[in-house]
Structure formats: structure tokens, C-alpha cells
């Protein structure tokens, strides 16, 4: 019963490097989200997707790109990492109704 799985769990990058965070869900959920969590700022929405092949910007999309080529996967990319992107990243998914979000365990990213 995997639910929402994020990989990797931890990553250290140097400024300017690129990386991709993978989110996979096995609940056949339509909606998927990427958030970042920073102290004192709560959870801020980066990008979200309302279905396969669709993506939309959230509150803080700059510096990130996403793709939803398959319904079960939602990828978050950093093309040129900056120290300001040091954060804990959470992926979440939900069904089409007004239901709860199911979260992954988070991915801690440090950019030096």
C-alpha cells in the first residue's frame, strides 16, 4: 500500500546544478501537487496538475518546471538550482472531488 512516493528523500546540490524530483501515486488520483515547506512560511504551492498532460502554476512557480506525462507520475525539475530553493518538498495527490490530500513523506533538498 504505497500511496504517494517521493524520490529521492534527500539531496544536496551545488548552485547551478539541475535535478528532478519524482512523485508517484498508485491511487489513480486525478490531481497532483508540489509544495515547498519553509520555516515560518507553511506550505506554498509550486505547481499542480488536474490530469495527465496538464500542469498549472501555483503561488511560487519561478525556477521550477513540472511534467505529468503519465497519470501516476508528477515530476518537479530544477534547471539551475539556487540556495533559495533549499527546502523540504512535498508531493500530494487527491481524487476529483473535494477530498483530502494524500502526501508523500517529503524530500529535503539543500543547495550549497
Q: Grid coordinates representing 50? A: 488536474
Residue 23: HSE in the Cβ half-sphere, 13 Å Cα cutoff: 30
- Enumerate residues 93-112 that contact another protein by CB under 8 A: 94, 98, 100-101, 103, 105-106
Q: Residue 17 or residue 37: which is nearer to another protein going by CB?
A: 37
Which contiguous run of DSSP H or E holds residue 29? none
- Of 2, 14, 28, 40, the residue at the interface with another protein (CB under 8 A) is 40
Pick 86 or 103: Cβ nearer another protein:
103
Comparison of 22 and 43: residue with beta carbon closer to another protein: 43
Q: How far is the CB of 15 from another protein (least distance, A)?
A: 26
Alpha carbon 95 to chain centroid distance? 17
Residues 6+ apart with CB under 8 A from 3: 25, 26, 27, 102, 104
C-alpha 65 chain-centroid distance: 10
SS3 53: coil
Residue pair 38/59 in contact (Cβ under 8 Å)? The answer is no
Site membership for another protein, residue 61 (CB under 8 A): no
**Residues 20-39 interacting with another protein (rule: CB under 8 A):** 31, 33, 35
Q: Which residues bind another protein (CB under 8 A)?
A: 31, 33, 35, 40-45, 48, 50, 56, 58-59, 88, 90, 92, 94, 98, 100-101, 103, 105-106
Amino acid at each position: 500500500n504505497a500511496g504517494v512516493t517521493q524520490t529521492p528523500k534527500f539531496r544536496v546540490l551545488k548552485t547551478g546544478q539541475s535535478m528532478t524530483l519524482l512523485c508517484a501515486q498508485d491511487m489513480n488520483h486525478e490531481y497532483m501537487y508540489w509544495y515547498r515547506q519553509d520555516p515560518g512560511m507553511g506550505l506554498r504551492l509550486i505547481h499542480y496538475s488536474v490530469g495527465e498532460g496538464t500542469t498549472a502554476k501555483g503561488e511560487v512557480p519561478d525556477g521550477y518546471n513540472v511534467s505529468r506525462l503519465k497519470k501516476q507520475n508528477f515530476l518537479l525539475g530544477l534547471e539551475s538550482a539556487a540556495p533559495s530553493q533549499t527546502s523540504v518538498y512535498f508531493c500530494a495527490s487527491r481524487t476529483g472531488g473535494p477530498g483530502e490530500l494524500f502526501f508523500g513523506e517529503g524530500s529535503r533538498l539543500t543547495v550549497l
